[in-house]
Structure 1
């Protein structure tokens, strides 16, 4: 009746995501990021050192950092540790007493601990909207897109995406920022969401998202866009004054950024980026372009 021990499996990659039924574009100014049920209790069923869980934590942390740099509200769900029988109700039949037996495991894991300005919702059922003010919060923020990551993909994450869809909120399920009971159930959640209620995207898709009404690129977002192309080891040792090519950034990846920025109103050429060659060099180049009147709205959040 309780959740079983969960064997590790390969985290799905973007090239294996299912076909999409909609082509919604993620826009930072419209989005909210939901970190779903990343409590110690629910993660205890996994091997904490597995590649799956390491990737899950890393990808969620990367998305959260991007959201903080781009003004995207971050919302958590967390089940309470003292659920009354009448509150838990049918969940007892399906899953047993759950967190009631492990109150010390109620908190969100340290690696993703909520910040002071994040919102933490009490979770009562599979959907994050049930008995919560999530929809009202999103309306008050003027947001109608929901980025979803966490556990478990085919239960709370998928049901929340479905509920969002029925409330005319566009759900974006981050396929490589989820985990589940098995790879089959993980992919089941992606297939259902992508085909019936939302759009499945990758962590990288989130990190390179820009508003369609004009570029809104902060220094931290620029760094996040570059990091989306790098290996974890390179990110850990990254120096913003070192040559980006030495970290493995290639011409195809640079051209994808050139194309994306051009679509958003920032005219930077491949050759200009190749000559600038470092992250800080790129930022200086972008600032120069702005000074020339090609765009506005770039604010350097911090220096490296």
Structure 2
């Protein structure tokens, strides 16, 4: 089954709000393992046009951006895309909402999504739910996700996510990409 690693909302301004010096190196390990295993890496960012016309003033999360000029918010350089990596821009919390993510995935024959990103209670939760509803097979790299509330992260990864996804660690997932003979499994 063809899979893709999704690296979601790991933009400089987002990373700055979630201080964890061990997070980016772990995420970089997952990205390196995916590339070594032939698994496509798809970056998902959140962004809006000048004035954020795609956001209602009633939207509690993004409504304050209405009327504001667009600001660059690049992917953190420690985990930046390489040439050929796909970058998808979304307009809401889920990686699917307001983006062409599903078109990109279906065009590449991707049926399994491996989720990472910031925040566990935001983009990861929303994307997992929507991906499951769209019949993707989902894996969540628990330590490849980050949330400001460790208890919320724990409850989601240990109690909520397992109902719709396989939950594992970066190290275990990376090890699973290579069989005992050393050939990639994709």
TM range (shorter): 0.7 to 0.9
Shift of 1:61: 0.5
In structure 1, the residue corresponding to 2:42 is in which secondary structure? strand
For normalisation by structure 1, the TM-score amounts to 0.54
**May I ask how many residue pairs the two structures share in their alignment?**
182
Shift of 1:139: 1.9
Could you tell me which residue of structure 2 aligns to residue 137 of structure 1? 104
In structure 2, the residue corresponding to 1:184 is in which secondary structure? helix
Q: Deviations over 1:10-69 (max 9, x none)?
A: xxxxxxxxxxxxxxxxxxx5210000100111122233xxxxx22211111011111111
Find the aligned partners of 2:168 and 2:121 in 1 and give their Cα distance: 16
Structure 1 runs, 4 residues or longer, greater than 4 Å off: 98-102
- Pair 1:167-2:147 in alignment: no
Could you tell me which residue of structure 2 aligns to residue 146 of structure 1? 113
User: Would the aligned equivalents of 1:150 and 1:179 in 2 still touch at CA under 8 Å?
Assistant: yes
Structure possessing the higher relative contact order (Cα contacts under 8 Å, 6 or more residues apart): 2
Question: When you count helix as a share of all residues, which structure comes out higher?
Answer: 1
Where do 5+ consecutive residues of structure 1 fail to align?
A: 1-28, 48-52, 211-216, 218-259, 267-285, 287-296, 299-304
- Pair 1:188-2:155 in alignment: yes
Q: 1:83 to 1:141 in 2, by over 3 A?
A: same
Q: 1:193 to 1:70 in 2, by over 3 A?
A: same
Q: 1:147 to 1:58 in 2, by over 3 A?
A: same
Where do 5+ consecutive residues of structure 2 fail to align?
A: none
Shift of 1:91: 7.0
Shift of 1:135: 1.8
Shift of 1:118: 0.5
